Structure 1
Amino acid sequence: MVLWTTVESNEQAEMLARGLLEQRLAACVQIDSPITSHYVWKGQTCSETELRVVVKTLASKVDEAMTWLAENHPYDEPQLVVLPVAKASSGYARWVAESTSK
């Protein structure tokens, strides 16, 4: 599974990545280059520079990872989007499973 969120700073992204890895809720967390997000918040049209945080995990860890992110995310209402992985190489899938087991 792949879980996406966004944050406003590299420090926030690094904090989330470290926490998810320390809790073994993710095998890998990637921090994408700055993106520009356009959205409506509380009736206002906004445009902000953000970083996308991409979390690679198992389906069995998604709920726990989303709960952890909701509790530790700096945003009031963070984007927490989960995308299923249709197919992954067997070696990669095994590594994700091993990396997220306690």
Structure 2
Amino acid sequence: MSDAPQQIVTVYAVFASDEEAARIARILIDERLTACVNILGPCRSLYRWDGRIEDATEVAALFKTAAEQAEALIGRLAELHSYDLPAAAIWPISAATPGYAKWVLDETRPS
């Protein structure tokens, strides 16, 4: 493994449904804001919203992108998302296989 600090990152986000996650993933891949998206199974989310504790099923997704694209990815994701306040966070990747890191960087380079 080679160190690739702040060259590639993962953006974690949750969605109301698998369909919404896939729709947004396709758009962001097409726009080259992400190289790959792993849509995970349903998860149970408990959170406070409007003064109440909510208990909901959501779908988590991991977007792999270049660090320099992460803010644009989050901004575009927020535009496309059904939630008023989408949860999206950047997770740094401190090391990755060289071929993988290169692929992510190549796929997120504007054409």
TM-score surpassing 0.5?
yes
For 2:96, which of 83, 88, 98 is the aligned residue? 88
- Report matched runs for 1:61-72 at 5 Å: 61-72=69-80
Shift of 1:53: 1.2
Letter in 2 for 1:45: I
- Which stretches of structure 1, 4 residues or more, deviate above 2 A after TM superposition? none
Shift of 1:28: 0.3
| 1:46 matched to 2:93 | no
For 1:4, which of 12, 20, 24 is the aligned residue? 12
Report the Cα distance in structure 1 between the residues aligned to 2:33 and 2:57, rounded to whole angstroms.
Answer: 27
- TM-score, normalised via structure 1 length: 0.97
Shift of 1:84: 0.4
Q: Alpha carbon RMSD of aligned pairs, Å?
A: 0.7
Percent identity over paired residues:
36
- TM-score, normalised via structure 2 length: 0.89
For 1:45-92, what per-residue CA distance to the aligned partner results, in whole angstroms no more than 9, with x for missing partners? 011011001100011101110110111111000001111001111110
For 1:12-52, what per-residue CA distance to the aligned partner results, in whole angstroms no more than 9, with x for missing partners? 01111101101000010110001000100010001101100
Q: What is the match of residue 3 of structure 2? A: none
Q: Return 5+ residue gaps in structure 1 as ranges.
A: none
Letter in 1 for 2:83: Y
Larger RCO: Structure 1 or Structure 2 (Cα < 8 Å, ≥ 6 residues apart)? 2
Figure out how many residues of one structure are paired with residues of the other and give that number. Answer: 102
Structure ranking higher in strand proportion:
2
